[in-house]
Amino acid sequence: MSYVEEVLAKVKEKNASEPEFLQAVEEVLESLKPVIEANEDVYRREALLERLVEPDRQIKFRVPWVDDKGQVQVNTGYRVQFNNAIGPYKGGIRLHPSVNTGIIKFLGFEQIFKNSLTGLPIGGGKGGSDFDPKGKSDREVMAFCQSFVSELYKYIGADVDVPAGDIGTGAREIGYMYGQYKRLTNLYEGVLTGKGLTYGGSLARKEATGYGLLYLTRELMKCHGQSMEGKICCVSGSGNVAIYAAQKAQQMGAKVVTVSDSTGWIYDPEGIDIELLKEVKEVKRARLTEYAAARPSAQYHEGRGVWQIKCDIALPCATQNELFLEDAKQLVANGCTAVCEGANMPTTLDATKYLQDNGVLFVCGKASNAGGVATSALEMTQNSERLSWTFEEVDAKLEQIMINIYHNIDDAAKRYGMEGNYVAGANIAGFEKVATAMIAQGVC
Ligand code: NDP
């Protein structure tokens, strides 16, 4: 058995109840095989893979809070500090009923490689809770966030671990969390990113993941002799990543014809009206039925179905495992040329393989959605400098980072004889820096 297979077997045995974590580890380790095999003796002696797949620490805690009826509610909080070989732990906080240890571990594990790819000094971590902000009053969300941070604050800090937003955690939640951290520690420091602009937030952070996705997609297309102009794009999701991905795609001359949420999806052949979508999702926090009601050209459908619409480029921006093998087949049959992930691990392993085997340009989230965390790291830099950069400065840095990521993953794939395999390229390029740092720092 090869070293990779041995480690994979151990991970499966030890984490059998965490399918998303196993999926993420399998994807990474399988694609690292050529790198590991080239240095197998060293990596084996160092137990490098065993160390890489075991978080530095996992924190799990009770989050009690009082709802508007005076009833005490109890949620579970998580923070997984996975690897800080190249910088302080960095990764978002997910608030969604589906959150459990396995999901936070998969996200934290992916974050190690993504953060490395940005070229910035940030390690991998992730956190969250099974709390659902949907349908809660602002006071209830504040009560939850204050309780969550009353425990989490012990483990985070501007040079230790810097959480950010993710599904269910936007500017409102980050604000409440930051306020409570400040109150408990008396520190005014860059401990969270995605902050409001009046208290240390960075311009362009809100737009960064979606914009970054499109900067990378455009570079990918350019290097394959194509442009974004006139391309039909299918986007899934209608949250932070989806909205700004759709906006930038339209600014680049493409037409985005779909968005979705957890109850249904929109097909709008005239192109999604971004301002209306923002009004429905960012201001009213409403369902997509409201978008359809206000837009005669839009068709609303219950359930899932975005990937059946004919498109040139597919941008999954909702959540993990939302693009399945049958969707991949439909995309290929419809002539789709590129799939770039805005969400984390939205494409299942068999769907990824099908897309790659059928000549679709496929870029995995840890490369294509790294613009969010990269801009979070730029927010940390501004906080350390006590300065605020302009939108244009941050956006220009983000664009350059995404172009660099594309070329780094392309080069890494070519170096190991896997030209065009951007999943392998991303994993290899992300891994190399972390592995070198881990070995240099000794057994820890
Ligand atoms: P948001 O909470 O802003 O939006 C999430 C969107 O996905 C919503 O439209 C939501 O619909 C939909 N969604 C969530 N869960 C499901 C589900 N189980 N089934 C169907 N639809 C679902 O989150 P973000 O836009 O911030 O995050 C989207 C993805 O991008 C996640 O995978 C996240 O980890 C990843 N990501 C986010 C970054 C960021 O900067 N925000 C950075 C890098 C990656 P509904 O409102 O109905 O729940």
- Helix ranges (DSSP H) in 130-258: 138-152, 171-185, 205-223, 240-251
Measured CA to CA, the distance from residue 341 to residue 319 in angstroms comes to 10
What positions carry a catalytic annotation?
A: 126
Q: Which residues are bridge partners to 258 per DSSP?
A: 234, 267
Angle (nearest 5°) at CA 102 between 238 and 86: 85
237 C-alpha vs ligand 1 centroid, how far in Å? 6
Give the three-class secondary structure for 298: coil
Q: Which two tokens stand for residue 239?
A: 């949250």
In this prediction, the residues of the chain whose per-residue pLDDT falls under 50 are: none
Q: What is the predicted pLDDT for the residue at 97?
A: 98
Give the binding-site residues of ligand 1, using a 6 Å CB cut-off: 165-168, 209, 237-242, 261-263, 317-319, 342-344, 369, 372
Amino acid letter for position 92: G
Ligand 1 atom 27 nearest Cα: 167
What backbone phi and psi angles, to 5 degrees, belong to 256? Answer: -95, 120
Beta-carbon-side half-sphere exposure of residue 425 (alpha carbons within 13 Å): 25
Q: Ligand 1 pocket check: which of 240, 301, 304, 373 to mutate, most ligand atoms within 8 Å of Cβ? A: 240
Which residue spans within 191-321 are E strands per DSSP?
232-236, 255-260, 264-267, 299-302, 313-316
247 C-alpha vs ligand 1 centroid, how far in Å? 16
Q: What is the predicted pLDDT for the residue at 1?
A: 87
Ligand 1 atom 35 nearest Cα: 343
Helix (H) or strand (E) holding 105: helix 101-117
Q: What is the predicted pLDDT for the residue at 176?
A: 98
Q: Ligand 1 pocket check: which of 241, 283, 363, 402 to mutate, most ligand atoms within 8 Å of Cβ? A: 241
> What structural domains and CATH numbers belong to the chain?
55-191 (3.40.50.10860), 206-368 (3.40.50.720)
127 C-alpha vs ligand 1 centroid, how far in Å? 15
Ligand 1 atom 20 nearest Cα: 262
Ligand 1 atom 44 nearest Cα: 343
148 C-alpha vs ligand 1 centroid, how far in Å? 20
